[in-house]
Amino acid sequence: YRFTIPFMVTAFVISLIAVYFGGYVVPEANKQRIYIEQNYLKKGMIQSGSNIYFQDSVNRIVTITYFNVKLGKANRVSIQEFDPTDITKMVSRVDATSMSFDSSSNSWILKDGAQRFFYGNKDSVNSFQNLAINYLSFSPQEVIEKQKIPDEMTLDELEKYADAQLNAGNDPTRIKIEYHSRFAFAFASFVVILFGLTISANKRKGGTAIQFGINVLLTFVYLVFMKVSQAFGKNGVLNPFLTAWLANILFFSAGLINLIRVKK
């Protein structure tokens, strides 16, 4: 035990640092990289978003053909409402040439469009020049956030994004797997070192070379097992937390058992 303690303490500290780096430093670095690519290398520019499509609530879908980030203005907007009891039935639809956010009234202002209401086989149409609506649950900043990829999100942003997806009626499983995986990956070194130390403590014929080979093989098996569990999780077989931590739990348990056996 005295032999393993210094290694385990060091591995634990490294894992904590890895959580911070993986959860905050790396996403911020990715944001800067993508910003440079978009604004200087002109790759996938986010000065505007094209063909943005998302579910704002369980029965509401918003489509934005073009969104100007600098102006906070959406062009060619469609808002479709469906019957909560029968999601296949559309009850209303709003189409507008543009939409901008009014922070003073906390509402979106739609311009030059039409509002349609559907009643069975009948419908009514109301044209408008300006229409203020306050039932949309997103802000201009959140439209920008919806264009982000998980690699750009910190742990806090991932958690909020998963909650927002759940509230909108979407499946947040993949986002939650990414969230829990950042912790699990950070502690992978701690688990692998514990398992490796217990293997190395057993005296085997062949010396250091054999032990090194066994540790490399076990590390490979660990990584493969983690990828397999992720595949099961993304298909809904495992819950997100267990998906991310299953490999760590099994290998950590095996390492503890092996450590007890070595002690005996």
Distance CA 115, CA 217 (A): 63
Residue 53 · residue 74 · CB < 8 Å: no
Spans of the chain, pLDDT less than 70: 1, 3, 37-50, 167-169, 200-209, 211, 262-264
Distance CA 249, CA 195 (A): 12
Reference 59, options 79, 73, 31, 33; nearest CA is 79
What predicted TM-score, i.e. pTM, was given to this entire model?
A: 0.66
92-141 residue pLDDT tens: 999 999 999 988 888 999 999 999 999 878 889 999 999 999 988 888 87
- How close are the terminal C-alpha atoms of the chain, in Å? 11
Residue 99 · residue 138 · CB < 8 Å: no
Distance CA 263, CA 202 (A): 10
Kindly state the DSSP code that residue 182 receives in the 8-state scheme.
Answer: H
Reference 115, options 124, 107, 126; nearest CA is 126
pLDDT of residue 176: 92
pLDDT of residue 97: 95
pLDDT of residue 113: 94
pLDDT of residue 240: 92
Domain residue extents for the chain = 5-25+170-263, 48-139
